[in-house]
Chains A and B, each alone.
Chain A
């Protein structure tokens, strides 16, 4: 991460930092053969399936690939719509 000092002076991040960030993304795709567009269509399908059972906030669904050691992990964050219950009484 660029330091606060760098950000205040609007300095670009160091080249090693850029190398690391770029490599992180490249390695994720090299390891899984999953392209960004495949992830996007997967996300649409997941939204469809889950929506059949429960109401979700479709526009806030996030699907991300993360690295855990040499293992890739697909993380889905799917916010549910709050169900407003009327109190009986």
Chain B
């Protein structure tokens, strides 16, 4: 097997990297791919709780890199998807415990066994971020339609370009269609014009993400969630399928538009 390494990064914290990693991992696994997610945020691990696997951790990424366990022993199999695994971050160490070449070596080993290796990058542009992008074949830059997140995304894109990696792809997360319509939130077109890279997905703001995270269940597995649908679409595009971008409207479709016509300004 010759797996692909996909890194999810953003520069700014809190834009949804961990949620995106969990959901793309689950989405790819749900499409029948064998997937491992690596939490590269050493000292601030969270991918375990988002996936609902926090009670099963025995070994972590630093244990693997320092040879205290075999890679397989640190991989936790998901409760719902038998082809989804997690390698958790260490919680009591700092980012200098792992180097970019450690990550390259580990991913080369995992490529033999997995179709996809997803890396959840920490915020910032220091060591942890360098670790996360070093082995990447594909880099997804995640941002929100908001000034600080777009500015930091631009810095990240600049660094990735300087590293001569493949051009990163953009995911715009937490879009509020009603605010965009009122002219109070940057639109997808605005963000694309500013950042000038290819878009691979846009995800609406959706309360079901918080509900799913509360339960430790990736929202892609919730067939009714709009954010879940958006993440499924991104997973399909990663698999080479040509999926049209969905509407960001809260009540997409004819009825939603009709109700807005009847109650202008409402919703």
CA–CA, A68 and B154, complex, Å: 14
The reply to whether the CB of A22 lies closer than 8 angstroms to some CB of chain B is yes
CA–CA, A17 and B190, complex, Å: 9
Question: In the complex where A27-B154, A30-B155 touch, is A70 in contact with B185 (Cβ < 8 A)?
Answer: no
Q: Is the CB of B186 within 8 A of A31?
A: no
In the assembled complex, 15 residue pairs joining A and B whose CB atoms fall closer than 8 Å, in A order, are A14-B182, A16-B179, A16-B184, A16-B185, A16-B186, A17-B183, A19-B147, A20-B186, A23-B194, A27-B154, A30-B154, A31-B158, A70-B161, A70-B195, A70-B197
Q: Is the CB of B190 within 8 A of A20?
A: yes
Complex contacts, B193 vs chain A, CB 8 Å: 20
Q: Is the CB of A14 within 8 A of B183?
A: yes
> Across the two chains, which residue of chain A brings its CB closest to B161?
A70
CB distance from B85 to the nearest CB of A (A): 36
The reply to whether the CB of B180 lies closer than 8 angstroms to some CB of chain A is yes
Complex contacts, A14 vs chain B, CB 8 Å: 182-184
CA–CA, A22 and B154, complex, Å: 14
B140-165 at interface with A (beta carbon < 8 Å): 146-147, 150-151, 154-155, 157-158, 161
Q: Is the CB of B151 within 8 A of A26?
A: yes
The reply to whether the CB of B187 lies closer than 8 angstroms to some CB of chain A is yes
The reply to whether the CB of B246 lies closer than 8 angstroms to some CB of chain A is no
The reply to whether the CB of A15 lies closer than 8 angstroms to some CB of chain B is yes
The reply to whether the CB of B210 lies closer than 8 angstroms to some CB of chain A is no
B9-27 at interface with A (beta carbon < 8 Å): none
Complex contacts, A23 vs chain B, CB 8 Å: 147, 150-151, 194
The reply to whether the CB of A89 lies closer than 8 angstroms to some CB of chain B is no
CA–CA, A23 and B185, complex, Å: 13
CB distance from A1 to the nearest CB of B (A): 11
CB distance from B189 to the nearest CB of A (A): 10
